[in-house]
Structure 1
Amino acid sequence: MARKNQKAPWEPEEEIIWVSKSEMKRDMEELQKLGEELVGLKPSTLAKFPLSEDLAEAIHDAQRFKNEARRRQLQRIGKLMRYEDPEPIQAALDKVRNKHSQNTAVLHKLEQLRDRIVEQGDTAIDEVMELYPAADRQRLRQLARQAAKEKSSNKPAKAFREIFQVLKELNDEEF
């Protein structure tokens, strides 16, 4: 006769995963660090994050506090983060960080284009016209000649900076 408490051999046993206290502490510290990063963001950026009302309010309060009150509030945020799913928050934070990197890359690309306009003249301006059809070819040629003249006579690079501003405006209009 079979015992009542005994499982049948064909039923799978549930696997128990033991988590050490140190590992739990590390996880909580990571959540608190994530919360600290959220506190450092601007309110307009924070509005785009998928946060619960309690967490959003706690972050807003932490932004106002100083010293010890801020430290305690950050601990509270860490505690509230335990009940949140950190993956969408982390993904949104990564997106915000990446946006800054993308903006920097675009500005570097525009600087290189400006340098080519000053050095190569019409061939580089033709490239700009392909990229930005709304560009004023005559204005770019005029600025390129002026920048080359300023460079040769060691004058301040006013036209050089103005070419960059024109390219930046064209890029902003496109997006």
Structure 2
Amino acid sequence: MHVNEKNRTPKKEDLNEGPSKSELKRQMTERQKLAEVLAALSSDALKTIPMDEAIKVAIGETNKIKSFEAIRRHKQYLGKLMRFLDETELDTIQRRLDAIQGVSKAETAKLHFLESYRDRLIADDATFTKMIEQYPDMDIQNMRTLIRNARREKELNKPPKAYREIFRVLKEMGL
């Protein structure tokens, strides 16, 4: 660093040498949070993410740790390992993670749609009539029986066997 000889202050061009200490801490925290999200993934999903094998092993070890303080230290260690990744690697990991989470969100949305459709079928005969018009090839008699049984199960507070069966049939139909 160059120092001005008159008043012993650093020159302005030397003061902007890189990210501030606060910025470095923010980056470290972001990387640590990314590591926590990765640790919450299933082992199959984690295998699809392109990253260093040492980091994958360390993330896999997170689930084996039981002590709260040890988990905290391990998360800091994961953040330290993630610090050595460059921005392109982090972007690749983040994109893959977003894709994995996007797929699970889409699946969840589809399941919610099927559940609400099943509830409408049981509650209203008009929904079933519309379904017959849209899917004339389906087994109408079987579906009508399942709907009737689901209504009866609900009235008698019995286990929802037909209720679940309707969901399975709707899922198989690819609704």
TM-score scaled to structure 2, two decimals?
0.71
Q: Deviations over 1:39-95 (max 9, x none)?
A: 222212211111111211221233323334433332222122122221121222222
Give the residue type in structure 2 aligned to 1:96. Answer: I
Superposition RMSD in Å: 2.7
Matched, 1:123 2:123: no
Which segment is superposed worse, 29-38 or 81-90?
81-90
Structure 1 equivalent of residue 97 of structure 2 = 93
Q: Which moved more, 1:30-39 or 1:57-66?
A: 57-66
Letter in 1 for 2:170: L
CA gap of 1:106–1:18, structure 2 versus 1, over 3 A, is same
Match of 1:13 in 2: none
Instruction: Report which stretch shifted further, 30-39 or 90-99.
Output: 90-99
Query: Could you tell me the TM-score, scaled by structure 1's length?
Result: 0.71
Change (3 A) 1:147 1:66: closer
Describe the shift of the 1:123–1:86 C-alpha distance in structure 2 as closer, same or farther (beyond 3 A): same
C-alpha deviation, 1:37, in angstroms? 1.6
Q: Secondary structure at the match of 1:65?
A: coil
Structure 1 residue runs of 4 or more that deviate by more than 6 Å after TM superposition = none
Residue 78 to residue 141, structure 1, CA distance change in 2 (3 Å): same
Superposition deviation, residue 23 in structure 1: 0.6
Shift in Å at residue 150 of structure 1? 5.3
* Contact kept in structure 2, 1:129 and 1:137, CA below 8 Å: no
- For the residue of structure 1 that corresponds to 2:135, the secondary structure is helix
Q: Could you tell me how far 1:30 is from its partner in structure 2? A: 0.8
Alignment CA distance shift 1:159-1:88 (3 Å): same
Look up the match of 1:38.
38
SS at match of 1:80: helix
> Does 77-86 or 59-68 show the bigger shift?
59-68
Identity %: 41
Give the structure 1 partner of residue 172 of structure 2: 169
Structure 1: tracts of 5 or more residues without a match: 1-15
